[in-house]
Amino acid sequence: MLINICKKIFVLVIIINSITTSNADVLATSLETSEAKETTSEERNSSQETKMPSELMESMPVFEGVKGSYIVDGLNGQILYSQEADQQVEVGSFSQLLLLYMVYQAIDQGQLNSQQEVWISDDVYELSQDYNIPNVPLRQDLPYSLSELMEAVSLNAARGAALALAEELAGTESKALQQMKDQLNEWGEKEFNLINVTGLSEDYQSGDSSTINQGKTNQMTAKTVATVAYHLINEYPECLKASQVYQKLFQADTSDAFEMTNPNLLIEESDSLYAMKDVDGLSASKTQEDGLNLVVTTQKNGLRLIVIVLGVKDEEKLYQISQELIELAQNIYRKETVIQANSPATHLNAIKVENGRENQLQLVYGEDLQLVVPIIDTAPRLVYQFTANSHVKDNQVKAPILAGTVVGQMQVDVADYHLPILQSGKGNAVEVKVANDIKEASLLQKIWSSIQKIWEQTWNSIRKFFTDLFN
């Protein structure tokens, strides 16, 4: 009797195994045709591309009299244009963009409050009274809100206000400067030389205009400036509220009212000849050694661009090149949604469940993924690469497992072309999550599953034996 039952179980297991194997073969075939690949995290990291392909760069214009230029997409950090992007250039007050990021981060982490009172130190007061440099006059007998000082820096690149923010952030300028350097290192940026938070020349003596260009000032590459601007806009988009304004009164409706003027003449609100529709922020700077610099951002048809042009001697040329780069990117690129949040994650092999009431996971994508692709490529062929995390071992997970558990990431590239992305950019990958709770199997289910595994291993061994025998 027992032998007959075992024979029936054996036959049943063979049938089930045959069906399972057949389904797995079908699944593998369908994944192969959709260009899906699975990789380890090491393989994925080694394939991450941060340089534009040479064949793409050859089709891009090259501008003379420019020491560095760069375009990145403001969502993922995709690199869309690059010229001399790794050359260090004097960027002056662009250090204030990084300072603003650090202040926003401290607010986000609860270390600072945008409405907290800031009292002015002797050093800040002295610097703020210097009208040879961009400034707003500050007093020591009354406090200012942190947000007021942030606005003065965002709109006017006010040197005294920047120093006040640095002292409020870290206690001293030197400590704030070290935090800024640490942040750049965390983003993977190594090519920079930060001297101070304000952007002034290192030998400048406050009040002495003859020393305004003496000594070196802050240096960054176009790529480093792009990285700073990308994180500032991507993580704290409210920063654009001030930097898109052309003129505004500091301490309006008081006897201390002082007009601030934005040095960035490309913003839409500017009354200059260079004003460009849809340009809504960041900043411009000037240094004695390398000349004029511009970092701007614009959004059109959902595509957020960050454009950097460094080291141009002539103002008209600076804005002309910046306009050409913006128009270039807007005319050759578009944004395409390639993955939708909560849609089934079908571009990977099934992940089995050990000791679960279900045999495999139902998976969904955790968020939308939008890529910037050439406009002429109306139907780009995509490659999907799944990287499992520590929850998955030997392509299976252990029950119980909760809905929403992240089991890995899906990276999407255009076929035969790794998308170049800032090292610290969000990138072209989204989380893959478990769609529903899977409870641990009952004792009976576990026993049946064990029998299946035993017979599956036995069947595979027999099949391998005869395959090897006749081959």
Q: What is the DSSP string of 157-174?
A: --HHHHHHHHHHHHSSHH
Q: Just give the CATH number of 2-49+336-441.
A: 2.60.410.10
What pLDDT does 265 receive?
96
Q: Name the residue with tokens 């063979």.
A: 14
* The residue type at 54: S
Torsion over CA of 94, 100, 106 and 112, rounded to 10 degrees?
140
128 CB burial (10 A radius; 0-12, 13-18, 19+): buried
The answer to whether the CB of 120 falls within 8 A of the CB of 161 is: no
**Cα–Cα distance, 232 to 147 (Å, whole number):** 16
Q: Quick check: 169 and 112 in contact, CB under 8 A? A: yes
One digit per residue, pLDDT tens: the chain, 471 residues? 433 433 333 333 333 333 333 333 333 323 333 344 555 444 444 445 666 666 666 678 899 999 999 999 999 999 999 999 999 999 999 999 999 999 999 999 999 999 999 999 999 999 999 999 999 999 999 999 999 999 999 999 999 999 999 999 999 999 999 999 999 999 999 999 999 999 999 888 888 878 777 888 999 999 999 999 999 999 999 999 999 999 999 999 999 999 999 999 999 999 899 999 999 999 999 998 899 999 999 999 999 999 999 999 999 999 999 999 999 999 999 999 999 999 999 999 999 988 888 888 999 999 999 999 988 877 888 999 999 999 999 999 998 999 999 999 999 998 877 789 999 999 999 999 999 998 886 666 666 666 777 777 787 788 777 777 776
Tell me, yes or no, if the two domains 2-49+336-441 and 84-292 fold the same way: no
Distance CA 449, CA 396 (A): 14
- For residue 138, the model assigns a pLDDT of 97
Gap between the Cα atoms of 188 and 181, Å rounded: 11
> Residue 236's CB: how many other CB atoms inside 10 A?
16
User: How confident is the model at residue 246, as a pLDDT?
Assistant: 96
Cα distance between residue 323 and residue 317, in whole Å: 10
Tell me the DSSP string of 204-236. --TT-GGGTT-S---EE-HHHHHHHHHHHHHH-
- DSSP-based three-state secondary structure for 363: strand
- DSSP-derived secondary structure letter, 327: H
Contact present, 236 and 156 (Cβ < 8 Å): no
Cα distance between residue 397 and residue 416, in whole Å: 32
Could you tell me which of 74, 62, 84 has the C-alpha nearest to residue 221? 84
161 CB-side CA count, 13 A: 28
Nearest to 285 by CA among 296, 273, 269, 277: 296
To the nearest 10 degrees (0 to 180), the angle between helices 95-108 and 222-235 is: 30
pLDDT of residue 372: 93
Look up the CATH superfamily of 84-292: DD-peptidase/beta-lactamase superfamily (3.40.710.10)
Q: Using only the alpha carbons of the chain, give its radius of gyration.
A: 29
Q: Give the separation between CA 66 and CA 85, rounded to whole angstroms.
A: 10
DSSP 8-state assignment for residue 83: E
pLDDT of res. 171: 97
Domain ranges of the chain: 2-49+336-441, 84-292
Rounded to whole angstroms, what are the CA distances from 9 to 42, 358, 455, 456, 464? Answer: 43, 21, 9, 12, 21
